[in-house]
Structure 1
Amino acid sequence: MTKTRAHALAILREFGSAEEELLGKSVVLTDGKAGTVERVLLDESHGLRLAIAGHQGVWPVSTIKFMEG
């Protein structure tokens, strides 16, 4: 396996883990938006982004202030 392929597989594995951890969880973001995570996206420029039910747009995962246990 090439080094590039190994890096790509590691990224996809971590993305899958993030999806498992975040999908369906209730979150509050630093800007006060709150809701359930309905999608996790991988943005080549910004990294992990979240789509929150009931709100238009996506936000960086780093803006999570509180997440349901």
Structure 2
Amino acid sequence: MYRLLTIDGYARIDLRLTPENKLYFIEANPNPILADDEDFALAAAKAGLPYPDLIERIVRLGIRTIRD
């Protein structure tokens, strides 16, 4: 979905799974709130990426984008 929508940088992709295991795309948010208690950071933490590492990744992505 990320590549299909040609999103650049970081984004939050919202999906919903029905009881019948059907997956629905809800929205792509290319500018999610980055607070440590908001959905984006909480989802990253659930995936094993602690908040400080998440922020570092975003900063590094921005630096790499500027250099390219």
User: What TM-score does the superposition give when structure 2 sets the normalisation length?
Assistant: 0.28
Higher strand proportion: 1
Larger RCO (CA within 8 A; separation ≥ 6): 1
User: What TM-score does the superposition give when structure 1 sets the normalisation length?
Assistant: 0.28
